[in-house]
Structure 1
Amino acid sequence: RKRAVHAWPGAPVAVRRRSGAPCAVPARQNRTRGWERCGRQRNAGAPRPSLSTQTDEALRALLQRFYALQGERVETYRLFEEGHRAYLSSAPHYDFPRYRQLVHEVTAAFSGISREVLQLQGRLRDELGRPDLAQHLTRLQEREQEKLQLTAQLQLARQRVQDEPGVDTNQQEVRELKHRLIKTIEAISEILQDLKYDSEEAE
């Protein structure tokens, strides 16, 4: 522990800086202010995070959260499909109450994800100054809504095929819905690629 050195009244107190030059603080002045002034001189050359760096970090954190939400969407769709296959396998005495509960839970999950994505979209536009990335999220939300509607329609069509195996129009409907769903999934993938490209381009 260093010993305290007391100065004579009125004499300057020399505080050695890293550069070797003394920082003179009059003894009768407020010592705290003097030390703060010397500290500012010592740290004047220390690098501070720029506003641009802070914005980049916030953007990376936001995109990381967005991709995590997309992962939740993928997992929710997987559970939705598994639940529907189990529901079809319960024919002819369908376990409709259980399937209805599944639809309720899936709808709530997608609704929560969409709300948070909309919040991220607003932050991209208003806080981070990236309306281009916000626009990608807007397009994505529209496609995700379309994907959910097509998925629900396809599940109903598959049940009609199972219940009425001899009706050709049911088979045709399933094929058309599958095709539209594939196109929608491809569009979502393209939007995600655009988002990734535009976000990395600015780094």
Structure 2
Amino acid sequence: MIENKLPLISNVMSSTDFKALVQRLYALQEERVEAYKLFNEGHEAYLRTGPHYDFEHYKQLVHEITKAFSGISKKVLDIKERLNQDFDRTDLAAHIEQLQNKEKVKLELTAKLQLAKQSAQDHPDDEGCQEKVQEIRHDIIKNQQALSEILQDLKFDSEEPE
């Protein structure tokens, strides 16, 4: 009689593990959001030190943020691997791959935006600098929309029965 119930217990644990893994992924995305907030606030503080910028403090911020993003990314890739191997959810692993690619683009665009903002601050009469800032902001918005769509697809697909 007990043997008949063991697979049921195993499936419940598996389902619980799966849900915990997906929830961990969302928590890591929230950590990324917080890291971007700190990164942007730090850059704004850096810009306020112009025209003789305090580059050493900003360089330290970039180092810390890079470490944080790298750690988050590693954990996300571990989740991707577990979803793929332990749960045979290649669909979710593919979403995470897309997510990682868009997050990489977001970080690159954020760095470009920060450089463009500094350039616009240093050259207030150069309309090209202001246009560049707006162009990059637009690209960030498009990238954020793509990220939201990927997360929505991941949410939908992770709620489907396995």
- TM-score, length-normalised on structure 1? 0.76
What does residue range 161-172 of structure 1 map to in structure 2 within 5 Å? 161-172=120-131
Alpha-carbon displacement from aligned partner over 1:1-60 (angstroms, at most 9, x marks no partner):
xxxxxxxxxxxxxxxxxxxxxxxxxxxxxxxxxxxxxxxxxx648844523322211111
Q: Percent identity?
A: 53
**Inter-partner Cα distance in structure 1 for 2:71 and 2:2:** 47
Per-residue Cα deviation, 1:99-149 (whole angstroms, up to 9, x for no partner): 000001001100111111111111111111100011100000000000000
Quote the Cα distance in structure 2 between the aligned partners of 1:109 and 1:195: 23
Match status 1:146 vs 2:105 = yes
Does residue 113 of structure 1 match 2:72?
yes
Q: Structure 1: which 5+ residue stretches go unaligned?
A: 1-42
Alpha-carbon displacement from aligned partner over 1:67-126 (angstroms, at most 9, x marks no partner): 111111010000001000000111112111000000010011001111111111111111
What is the alpha-carbon distance in structure 1 between the residues aligned to residue 7 and residue 52 of structure 2?
64
Partner of 2:49: 90
Structure 2 gap segments, 5+ residues each: none
**Larger proportion of strand:** 1
Cα RMSD over matched residues? 1.5
Aligned residues: 161
SS in 2 for 1:94: coil
Q: Which has the higher contact order (CA 8 A, sep 6+)?
A: 2
Whole-angstrom CA distance in 1 between matches of 2:117 and 2:68: 23
Greater helix percent: which structure? 2
Structure whose CA Rg is larger: 1
Matched, 1:136 2:60: no
Q: What TM-score, normalized to structure 2? A: 0.94
